[in-house]
Amino acid sequence: MLVNYKSILNSSDIQLKSFKILSIWFGINRWSIKSGGVIFCICALISSCITLTPETTADKTVTTIVTEPAAANTQVVAAADFNLLGRISIQNRNERFSGSFRWQHLAISDEILLFTPLGQAVAEITKDQEGVRLITSKLEAFYAADVESLTEEILGWRLPLSGLQYWIQGTHSPVTAAEKDLDDKNQVIAIRQDGWKIQFNSYAPAQLNQIPLPRTLDLVFENLRIRLVVDDWKAE
């Protein structure tokens, strides 16, 4: 159940300063679909992996790995901290949106700011130890147990934050089962998890002592399509 507080909140609570000072260029590339040969490999969390001979096409070889969720008594590895700026495009049966976003992820909290193409604030989404909160441009505050249900109810589309904090870094969430497609350079090009299909279209150049991080990715869930373009990566 969502709780709506329509009273105007003070600036110390919602920190909307960043709404006014942050304006990000944007533009959405065309959707692209990658295809290739597939080979299946089933792996437990800590076990050997049986690999068949990969199927090779004219341009690439794809290896598919199936991972199992972490055991109940195993501590889940948290997603690494990051701070990024990017562009976002949303499309489903009822909603179309494009603009920019800022996302700060820490081990104990997330803060996501959404902006229109002109840089105007759309929403601030916050997740911390107290729960999930969404503040609209009208300064209305909504609360719920998880980000997906809250964004779907208020914005008209769901944001899969629990998985996206891993997918945005080019890996799968260890909480649930997943399928990963790797290219011949052992780089993840697709993930299928929790009903979502994530396609990695390009990676940013690798920084010193860091692995390459995704730059453009497409997320598909039923009739919902989300494209993310990361313009500035600051991995912690």
27 pLDDT higher than 50: no
Annotated domain spans of the chain: 15-25+77-166, 40-72+170-220
How confident is the prediction for the chain on average, in pLDDT? 79
- Strand pairing of 40-43 and 63-67? parallel
Q: Where are the alpha helices (DSSP H) in the chain?
A: 11-14, 17-21, 147-154, 161-167
* Mean pLDDT calculated for residue range 41-70: 59
Token pair 């979502």 is at which residue?
196
Residue 22, amino acid = L
Question: pLDDT tens-digit profile of 177-192?
Answer: 999 999 998 999 999 9
Question: pLDDT tens-digit profile of 74-98?
Answer: 777 788 899 999 999 999 988 899 9
Of the listed ranges 46-55, 99-108, 162-171, 179-188, the least confidently predicted one is 46-55
For 15-25+77-166, CATH number? 2.50.20.10
DSSP string, 75-139: PPPPPPPEEEEEEEEEE-SS-EEEEEEEEEEETTEEEEEEE-TTS-EEEEEEEETTEEEEEETT-
Spatial contact of 39 and 68, defined as CB atoms under 8 Å apart: no
* Mean pLDDT calculated for residue range 29-38: 35
Separation of alpha carbons 177 and 30, rounded Å: 30
Tell whether pTM > 0.85: no
- Tell me the C-alpha to C-alpha distance, in Å, between residue 71 and each of 34, 76, 171: 32, 9, 18
